[in-house]
Amino acid sequence: MGILVKRSTVERKCPFVETISFRFKGLLFLIVMKARNHTFSLTRVQWVIWLLLFGVNTLSMLRYDSLLQAMANAFVTISAYMLIVYGNAGWLLPAYYGTGKKLLYVLLALLLLFVVAAYRYGLGWWIYNTYFSTKPEPFKWANILTGLLSSLLIYFSSILFYITLHYFRLQEQQQEMQKKQVETELNLLKGQVQPHFLFNTLNNIYFYAQKESPVTASMLERLSHIMRYFVDEAPRPAIALSVELAFLQHYIELEKMRMRYPLEVRWREDATIRDLHVPPMLLIPLVENVFKHGIDKRRTDNFIDVNLSLESGNLLITVENALVQESPAAGRGTGLQNLRARLQLLFGNACEMHSEAVLEKGIYRAHLSIPV
CATH number for the domain that contains residue 365: 3.30.565.10
Asked, for residue 324, whether it belongs to a domain, the answer is: yes
Assess whether pLDDT exceeds 50 at residue 50: yes
Q: What is the pLDDT of residues 23-48, one digit of tens each?
A: 444 554 555 555 444 445 677 888 88
**236 lies in some domain:** no
The answer on 145 and 41 residing in a single domain is yes
- Do the domain assignments include residue 220? no
Q: Specify the number of domains making up the chain.
A: 2
Residue 214 has pLDDT above 70, yes or no: yes
Indicate whether 40 belongs to any domain: yes
**CB neighbour list of residue 59: distance below 8 Å, 6 or more residues apart:** 70
Q: How many CB atoms lie within 10 A of CB 213?
A: 12
Q: What is the pTM of this model?
A: 0.50
Q: Which of 155, 177, 199 is the last residue of a domain?
A: 177
Count other Cβ atoms within 10 Å, centred on residue 289. Answer: 23
Handedness of CA 292, 285, 311, 174 (dihedral sign): positive
Q: From CA 22, how far away is CA 150, in angstroms rounded?
A: 11
Exposure of 18 by Cβ count < 10 A (0-12 exposed, 13-18 middle, 19+ buried)?
middle
d(CA 81, CA 79): 5
Burial class (CB in 10 A: 0-12, 13-18, 19+), 177: middle
71 vs 148 pLDDT, higher one: 71
100: alpha, beta or left? (left if phi > 0; alpha if psi -120 to 50): left
pLDDT in tens, 108-140: 999 999 999 999 999 999 998 899 888 888 888
Phi, psi of 198 (to 5 degrees): -65, -45
Coil, strand, or helix at residue 37? coil
* Domain span holding position 73: 15-177
Same-domain pairing of 159 and 281: no
Q: How far is CA 172 from the centre of its chain?
A: 11
pLDDT band at 1 (very low <50, low <70, confident <90, very high): very low
29/157 same-domain check: yes
